[in-house]
Structure 1
């Protein structure tokens, strides 16, 4: 796991112990010999202070959606009726574009 190596402070054995795993579990995960459960991935993300998305290779940013307030907002938006979501996202996209243009 690149996140573990990036931290540079945890050996495979250290991480295994922190997760309550046994034997060479982390090494097997890192070599793609075994896939960890969702619960294990969540615990690994917490220990390494990153996100599940980063561990799964969905993003290069180690802190995307770690902001709980932002995550709550996104969950709220996701729960709204489709038309309301579309209006909110349209407005949000316009605001994001405006901020990006300012920085050019």
Structure 2
């Protein structure tokens, strides 16, 4: 998927008009329209501003990752998690694994009924 399509889909998902996104990103509405139509490709600076306004990573905005669930906030936490000492990271991983296992178990039992 190209960057313009991703911008358009995220803008719609956030219920932003092109003008709303332009205001939030400080990128002109005309340029946002051109990006969405594939008439222009955003510079790195413009793409970063748009990604920030839409709450996604730059990688996602430019189609370098398909991890739609990794919003900017999640990615920031993952980066900070990597800075922790190993024992603290393991404690957090264990906690995350417990929540994921419990979620999957509840989901599996909900589908059985």
Pairwise TM-score range, normalised by the shorter structure = 0.5 to 0.7
Once the 2 structures are TM-superposed, how far is the Cα of residue 12 of structure 1 from its aligned partner? 0.6
* Aligned twin of 2:68: 60
Once the 2 structures are TM-superposed, how far is the Cα of residue 38 of structure 1 from its aligned partner? 1.1
**Given the alignment of the two structures, is residue 40 of structure 1 paired with residue 31 of structure 2, yes or no?**
no
Alignment RMSD (CA, Å): 3.5
After superposition, the Cα gap between the structure-2 partners of 1:15 and 1:23, relative to the gap in structure 1 and judged at 3 Å, is closer
Once the 2 structures are TM-superposed, how far is the Cα of residue 7 of structure 1 from its aligned partner? 0.8
- Give the 3-state SS of the residue equivalent to 1:13 in structure 2: helix
Q: Distance in 2 between matches of 1:43 and 1:12?
A: 14
User: Counterparts in 2 of 1:85-96, with a 5 A limit?
Assistant: none
Number of residue equivalences: 91
Which ranges in structure 2 are unaligned for 5 or more consecutive residues?
A: 1-6, 84-93, 106-113
State the structure with bigger RCO (CA 8 A, min sep 6), 1 or 2: 2
Q: TM-score, normalised by structure 1?
A: 0.59
Q: Identify the structure with the greater helix proportion.
A: 2
**Given the alignment of the two structures, is residue 71 of structure 1 paired with residue 61 of structure 2, yes or no?**
no
Q: Distance in 1 between matches of 2:10 and 2:50?
A: 9
After superposition, the Cα gap between the structure-2 partners of 1:62 and 1:72, relative to the gap in structure 1 and judged at 3 Å, is closer
Deviations 1:64-103 (A, max 9, x none): x6332311345x6xxxxxxxxxxxxxxxxxx9xx989996
Deviations 1:34-57 (A, max 9, x none): 111112111111111122122122
Once the 2 structures are TM-superposed, how far is the Cα of residue 26 of structure 1 from its aligned partner? 0.6
